[in-house]
Chains A and B, each alone.
Chain A
């Protein structure tokens, strides 16, 4: 990780309150699932804003984010040619394994970091069977679908009623339908989205004994591993981030691990205590 001064290449709105920001970036190549931290330019904003890397291509970094509060509003005001400081790359990303049957499951704002993952998995294995399940609240929130189509079969779920549980169920039933139709069960699932969605996918993976990686989110302060603000509960005995799908049914004692650096944001779903 380091601080990089980046020039804004472009900024555009791509869905309701959702923006695509492209930066010129000459730092270390980010891995899929890693994130960057935007250092606030506005002196009234105290904390840096962590945003996942949507896509990286030859010196250009694409970030997709939603304008939600004052921090993201100030990012949305950035114009081409302006310069900002970012801390990058941060965190431990998704694992690029040799599995042949891969499912990628994204919901809402969890979708962007999965794009670089889909791209890299396709580059790594041109013969892999990559299924991409994307869920959005409604039409106004749909992002990046055409880009995902370059890397695998895309199944989009819309749920206008918006309960996250329903979104998780419909993605779950799509997965199950595919399997009952004779499609091979995935060897690995990568997921990022609302907590309830990831929790449901993690449960499904556990029931089916499928290796599952999940990118978690938590409020951050420093974003670089120093302050211990952004923690999630993991079992005390957890080695964290092993490539194992061994499910232990005993409920173990927990400890708090950081989402931001060496241990996250991507965790083996089996090594997270879901609440």
Chain B
């Protein structure tokens, strides 16, 4: 139906990293093979303990999270999850995070040694990591350095996940493209704070968190729209997609595929319902994905 870096996707829908673990839990509610790809939670070279609780706060039209990429590290990920994912009969996108360039390279090497995945998504945009992470993604030079270092050591297609917490997202997008990224995913969450008026303190244990959900959708659509005009590589669009109409907006703005994140929490079957809704829209308009990608630009 669509292709990203020469690999076919059955449907133009994946899930957003960090909302879906490695797919086991939501595999109880939906058939994972109906997704175009499963995107994993961030994997680092060694285990990360994550941020103190509370880690979530619901806000108007969205939620803040401050998980801090708690994960078991690449060794345990390979043992516990990689084989499960390789048997899901769909594309696998492993999201990779680190504090230094070397951290990212170690994860890629370990994964490549064990059969790897269809794509690696370089997380240069998580607002909940103290060092590394987002500091790569808010600077075009750093994004370029990290992407080209990863490009040199692997043939696996690279997706660079961009942060909205920047002045001009197209600068970062172009840097990633020039350094050899095969695709871009955007947007990650927007940095925010919620305050508990009773305790008079920030609500989250990590003080700041990443805002997701319908509240951020217009910002995300705008950033996809701008990025589509600035680069030639495909875009996976995300940010507050709760309904098929939301996904179609992203596609019309230039996304070749979309990712469902926070909506999985509201409705564990959201991704499948959105796939069905996109198909109905295409049929009704007597067109296909190629006919609508970027049509609004």
Contact = CB atoms under 8 A, between A and B. Distances in A.
B25 A226 contact: yes
Contacts of B70: 228, 231, 256
- Size class of the contact patch on chain A: 20 to 34
Given A39-B267, A231-B50, A226 B19 contact: yes
Interface string B167-183: 00000000000000000
Contacts of A269: none
Interface string B20-64: 110011101100000000000100000001100111111011110
B63 A219 contact: no
Contact of B67 (A3, A48, A227): A227
A231 B103 CA distance: 25
Given A1-B28, A225-B21, A46 B67 contact: no
A254 B49 CA distance: 9
Interface in B259-286: 262, 264-269
Contacts of A232: 53
B98 interface: no
Given A46-B58, A227-B67, A222 B264 contact: yes
B268 A229 contact: no
B2 to A, nearest CB: 25
A246 interface: no
B213 interface: yes
Interface residues of B, number: 35
A40 B19 CA distance: 18
Contacts of A3: 29, 268-269
B21 A219 contact: no
A221 B29 contact: no
A255 interface: yes
A27 to B, nearest CB: 12
B143 interface: no
Nearest to A259: B53
A218 interface: yes
Contacts of B265: 46-48, 221-223, 227
Contacts of A230: 53, 55-56
A228 B67 contact: yes
B55 A47 contact: no
Contacts of B18: 227
B11 to A, nearest CB: 20
A224 B25 contact: yes
A87 B266 CA distance: 11
Q: Is the interface of B mostly helix, strand, loop or mixed?
A: loop
Given A218-B53, A228-B67, A230-B53, A46 B266 contact: yes
A256 B213 contact: no
A231 B51 CA distance: 9
Given A1-B28, A46-B62, A46-B213, A231 B55 contact: yes
Contact of B50 (A1, A87, A256): A256
Contact of B29 (A2, A44, A46, A261): A2
B50 A228 contact: yes
Contacts of A218: 53-54
B55 A39 contact: no
Contact of B65 (A44, A221, A254): A221
A222 B49 contact: no
Contacts of A254: 49
Nearest to A275: B52
A220 interface: yes
Contacts of B213: 46
A43 B60 CA distance: 11
B139 to A, nearest CB: 28
A219 B58 CA distance: 10
Nearest to B261: A227
Given A221-B56, A221-B265, A46 B61 contact: yes
Interface string A236-273: 00000000000000000011100001000000000000
Contacts of A223: 265
Interface in A1-20: 1-3
A221 B67 CA distance: 11
A136 to B, nearest CB: 21
Contacts of B267: 39
A47 B58 contact: yes
A229 B56 contact: yes
Nearest to A258: B70
20 contacts: A1-B28, A43-B242, A46-B63, A47-B265, A47-B266, A219-B53, A219-B56, A221-B63, A221-B65, A224-B25, A226-B25, A227-B18, A227-B56, A227-B67, A229-B53, A229-B54, A229-B56, A229-B65, A256-B50, A261-B25
Given A3-B268, A46-B262, A255-B49, 8 more contacts: A47-B63, A219-B55, A222-B265, A225-B24, A225-B25, A227-B65, A229-B54, A232-B53
4 residue pairs, one from A and one from B, having the closest CB atoms? A226-B21, A229-B56, A219-B54, A226-B25
Interface of A: 1-3, 39-40, 43-48, 71, 87, 218-232, 254-256, 261
Interface of B: 18-21, 24-26, 28-29, 41, 49-50, 53-58, 60-63, 65, 67, 70, 213-214, 242, 262, 264-269
